[in-house]
Amino acid sequence: MPTPVFHTIGLIGKFGDPNVADTLKQIAAHLLRRRLRVLLDDSSARLMPDSGLEIAGRDRIGEQCDLAIVMGGDGTMLNAARSLVDYEVPILGVNLGRLGFLADVSPSELPQSLDAVLDGQFREARRSLLHAQVMHGDRITGEADALNDVVVHKCEVARMIEVDTFLDGRFLNTYRADGLIISTPTGSTAYALAGGGPIIHPGLEAVVLVPICPHTLTHRPIVVKADSVIEVVLNVANLTQTQVTCDGQISLALEPGDHVVIRKKDRKARLLHPLNHDYFKLLRAKLSWGLNPDASPFA
């Protein structure tokens, strides 16, 4: 057997999903047969109350594990990446969701793909994150990281918001829209794509700004350098309830006149892929590029 590359493995499953338990048990048993130490995320432990595994919080997984295996969809991967990025723990995703741009190992490929990764046969991709701070005057009222996107958006139906946007202290534009998406290349295939933004290869150092349903149709997405400091200021006259959402999972309150300051995070998430991982093949499969019209259910 090859010399192990990883020795202590953290297991993280989709929160509150009982369907994940069987895959967790399968992977845990396989890791133990390989005589590896396994730490089970405390939120996942509720799905396996009699597992006999060591139970650990996310911080302990970050401190003690040299690999985290995440089972779920991209939402679970986003959560794990944000919580482990400061520990620089590599993450392998097992896709139990639907779209799966981040978690790309299929349960049908277990345990072969898992063994290959454990034996050092993998590709590593480092993905940039954004850090958002909400400033009320000189005071920080909220902050969070995002692997996909930071979105300044309305909370009410059929009302617009108005925001002034600055890049590195220079005025860019005033948007009257349903909101503004600030996306990493990783997030360019998520909300930003649905909003009409471009697909950006995850290896590029860039950020894309995508207005959501802008009132002026000439407002188009714009791609800027990754180390830009982006500042979004909510107009003081704004009467529409507004908030900042990071990765669609963390919400920060926003008041008229508040500034949202968005910067690239210093550390990057480490994602592991099997050697046969192909980003463009993934795009073709997930976005149904080149689909034969004869195979369409609408034909």
Segment 97-147, tens digit of pLDDT: 776 789 888 888 889 999 999 999 999 999 999 999 999 999 999 999 999
Q: Is 74 a catalytic residue?
A: yes
pLDDT-derived band at 296, boundaries 50, 70, 90: low
Looking at residue 1, what is its pLDDT? Answer: 52
**CA end-to-end distance (rounded Å), the chain:** 52
Of these residues, 50, 59, 74, 115, which one is catalytic? 74
Q: Bridge-partner residues for 251, per DSSP?
A: 245
Q: Mean pLDDT over all residues of the chain?
A: 93
Q: Bridge-partner residues for 56, per DSSP?
A: 41
- How far CA 201 is from CA of 51, 91, 189, 205, in Å, comes to 40, 19, 10, 9
Structure token pair of residue 233: 């200021």
Domain contains 33:
yes
CATH number at residue 102: 3.40.50.10330
Domain contains 1:
no
Domain contains 275:
yes
In tens, the pLDDT along 149-159 reads: 999 999 987 88
pLDDT-derived band at 295, boundaries 50, 70, 90: low
Shared-domain flag, residues 120 and 146: no
Sign of CA dihedral 145, 149, 151, 157: negative
Domain contains 2:
no
Looking at residue 3, what is its pLDDT? Answer: 61
pLDDT at 244 over 90: yes
Task: Please calculate the CA angle 30-31-35 and round it to the nearest 5 degrees.
Answer: 115
Cβ neighbours of residue 186 closer than 8 Å, sequence gap 6 or more: 101, 102, 127, 128, 147, 148, 202
pLDDT-derived band at 4, boundaries 50, 70, 90: low
pLDDT at 202 over 80: yes
DSSP conformational letter for 107: G
Shared-domain flag, residues 144 and 238: yes
Looking at residue 16, what is its pLDDT? Answer: 84
Domain contains 3:
no
Domain contains 299:
no
Shared-domain flag, residues 183 and 283: no
Structure token pair of residue 271: 């994602």
E strand or H helix that includes residue 25? helix 21-33
The domain total for the chain is 2
Cβ neighbours of residue 54 closer than 8 Å, sequence gap 6 or more: 37, 38, 39, 40
What residue numbers bound the domain in which 96 lies?
8-127+268-294
pLDDT at 275 over 80: yes
CA 284/CA 123 separation, integer angstroms: 20
Q: Which of 247, 97, 231 is nearest to 168 (CA)?
A: 231
Q: Bridge-partner residues for 132, per DSSP?
A: 144, 262
CA 168/CA 158 separation, integer angstroms: 32
CATH number at residue 249: 2.60.200.30
C-alpha R_g of the chain = 21
Shared-domain flag, residues 29 and 116: yes
Looking at residue 57, what is its pLDDT? Answer: 97
Domain contains 17:
yes
Structure token pair of residue 292: 């034969």
CA 5/CA 118 separation, integer angstroms: 6
Looking at residue 297, what is its pLDDT? Answer: 52
pLDDT-derived band at 286, boundaries 50, 70, 90: confident
Sign of CA dihedral 36, 40, 41, 44: positive
Let me know: does 133 contact 277? Beta carbons within 8 Å. no
pLDDT at 40 over 70: yes
pLDDT at 298 over 60: no
CA 180/CA 162 separation, integer angstroms: 10
Let me know: does 39 contact 8? Beta carbons within 8 Å. yes
Looking at residue 272, what is its pLDDT? Answer: 97
Let me know: does 35 contact 7? Beta carbons within 8 Å. no
